[in-house]
Amino acid sequence: MKKILLFIITIIIICSTQLNAQWIGMWELPVALSDSSSDNCNAFLFLSYYSSNDLIVFWDKSNDSLSTELWMDNLMDADTAEVILSDPGIHYTHPMVIDAQYYPYPDSVLYVLYETDQNGNIDIYYIVMLPDGTFTDPEPLALSQHDDIQLSVGRENFYDAVTNDLNIVAWISNGCLYASTLINDNGQFFSEPVMIDSLGCNAPSVSAGSYSSNNILYEKEDSIGSFIYQVDYNGDGEWSAPILFFDSYESMNPTRAGLWGYECWSSYVDTSWRIALYDWGAIDLYDISSPVPFDPAVLGFSIGVAGAFGGDYIAITYPDNGVDEIFMSGTDWGGTDFVNFSNSGTMNRNPKFFGGEHLNQWYWHDYIIWESFRNGHWQLWSSNVPQSVGSISDEKLEDRFISSHPNPFTHETTLEFTLDAKSDVLIEVYDNRGMKVDEIANRNMTRGEHQLRWNGEGLPAGVYIIKMVVKNKVYTSKLIKNQ
């Protein structure tokens, strides 16, 4: 039977406090990941499948301008953060991680790549985490007479050990784009760096994952301006010639969404910079504008039980009340309006999205991490959101857990669902900002079919989400209210 992709957000409720900890939309309340007594920057979150889904954040930390250390913290345990690289007078910065593809070579867990000025100019080195949690001595990846900077790796770690996705590393040296790949061939090693494009290259963004081909998106400047280019890797050590990806407007700062295949960048349209999103063949331009280029981060998401629909979160730095806050779109279930997400009243910068822990093969959490200026230092802050993806046969599309009719509705709609056993049921209604507007039911219900009417009179037209909690699981359904 033909299969269609149906996207479902399902949350495993660990305790009742999680139900009340939502920030904006389905996002959790932001929490600090580091201290505020030193500068903590350039976080990279990595999910390791080697040992019970360890979720490890790496970042650089400095107490003064003389040196910078690399730190790590496993968010899934209660142990304190620990330093992994530190030397007086040396800066270790911009850590990024790729999976060591543990099987079938059980001598490595992950690779930490970073930039360092230990040789005077900036070079790229790496260390390897071993199964006992220790690290190997640093090894060089890129050594040149120029600064090797703007390190980028693929962030696709969605069951990487199963899909065997390719690990690509890219960087810029003297305006040229270079790349290397981690090879499995009687051991693991990085291929010899290759110059892929020369002159005017900037801001590489690597894609290597299940839902997108292995390629690098980057910015390239010519006599007219900066535009978005792409190069593809064929898996046999060969790179394609550079391809002009987008030249409708001058564009900068490309980025990727990893698993879902979204590409995003900033384009100069008319008299200001806007955000452009490449969404499965179409280019969307967002209304928000700035006199300077945006440096966006993008994350795909999908929700729905009675109706499937998806979208994207885009995070940017944007001024509000005299400070730079983290603004995010998509918090109103796929809308394009940006809202103040950090809402901290202080300076914020550098938002990035990462994949997080998996509850099983289909349910996981995604994270946003950014830097917030607290107590005179940059502190790491984070929030997370539940995600899910599933597949359901055609003949079962009419047998979903919760449905409603009419939908769209004007004044009143009827919810229908079937319980396989006597259960406690909580049904709530949320608006497109993630605010609860009504509670339809909160009681024990018998096994069998149920119908509940909900009257939405007095509420403005728009999108609403029905959230139904049964047996420690949350099911969601989209409602549309007409005028």
Q: Is residue 80 part of a domain?
A: yes
Are 439 and 373 contained in the same domain?
A: no
CA–CA distance from 70 to each of 81, 98, 119, 225, 472 (Å)?
11, 16, 17, 36, 39
- Contact between residue 429 and residue 454 where contact means Cβ atoms under 8 Å apart: yes
Are 407 and 278 contained in the same domain?
A: no
CATH number of the domain enclosing 418: 2.60.40.1930
pLDDT tens by residue, 304-360 = 333 334 568 899 999 999 999 999 997 655 556 899 999 999 999 999 999 888 765
User: Residue range 19-36: average pLDDT?
Assistant: 75
Which residues make Cβ contacts (< 8 Å) with residue 51, sequence separation at least 6? 109
Beta sheet of 263-269, edge-to-edge order: 250-256, 263-269, 272-279, 282-285
Give the chain's length.
Answer: 483
Are 23 and 144 contained in the same domain?
A: yes
Q: Is residue 99 part of a domain?
A: yes
Query: For residue 106, is pLDDT > 80?
Result: no
Find the farthest-apart pair of alpha carbons in the chain and give their distance in angstroms, rounded: 74
Are 288 and 410 contained in the same domain?
A: no
Structure tokens at 405: 């009719």
- Look at residues 391, 417, 449 and tell me which one is the last residue of a structural domain: 391
pLDDT, greater one: 89 or 166: 89
- Does residue 104 have a cis bond before it (omega within 30 degrees)? yes
Q: What is the reported pLDDT for 66?
A: 96
Are 29 and 121 contained in the same domain?
A: yes
Are 316 and 419 contained in the same domain?
A: no
pLDDT tens by residue, 135-186 = 999 999 999 999 999 999 975 443 333 334 568 899 999 999 999 988 877 7
Are 380 and 405 contained in the same domain?
A: no
pLDDT tens by residue, 333-345 = 555 689 999 999 9
Query: For residue 163, what is the enclosing H or E element?
Result: helix 160-163
CATH number of the domain enclosing 229: 2.120.10.30
pLDDT, greater one: 214 or 296: 296
Q: Can you point out the beta strands (E) in 138-175?
A: 139-142, 148-153, 168-173
Are 200 and 259 contained in the same domain?
A: yes
**Cα Rg of the chain, angstroms:** 24
Q: Report the percentage of the chain scoring pLDDT > 70.
A: 79
Alpha helices in 217-349 (DSSP H): none
Are 325 and 466 contained in the same domain?
A: no
Are 331 and 477 contained in the same domain?
A: no
pTM score, whole prediction: 0.76
Name the residue type at position 308.
A
Which residues make Cβ contacts (< 8 Å) with residue 64, sequence separation at least 6? none
Residue 458: give the domain boundaries. 401-481
Secondary structure (3-state) at 89: coil
DSSP summary character for residue 147: -
Q: Is residue 396 part of a domain?
A: no
Q: Is residue 26 part of a domain?
A: yes
- Look at residues 391, 410, 440 and tell me which one is the last residue of a structural domain: 391
Are 307 and 423 contained in the same domain?
A: no
Q: How many CA atoms lie within 13 A of 10 on its CB side?
A: 21
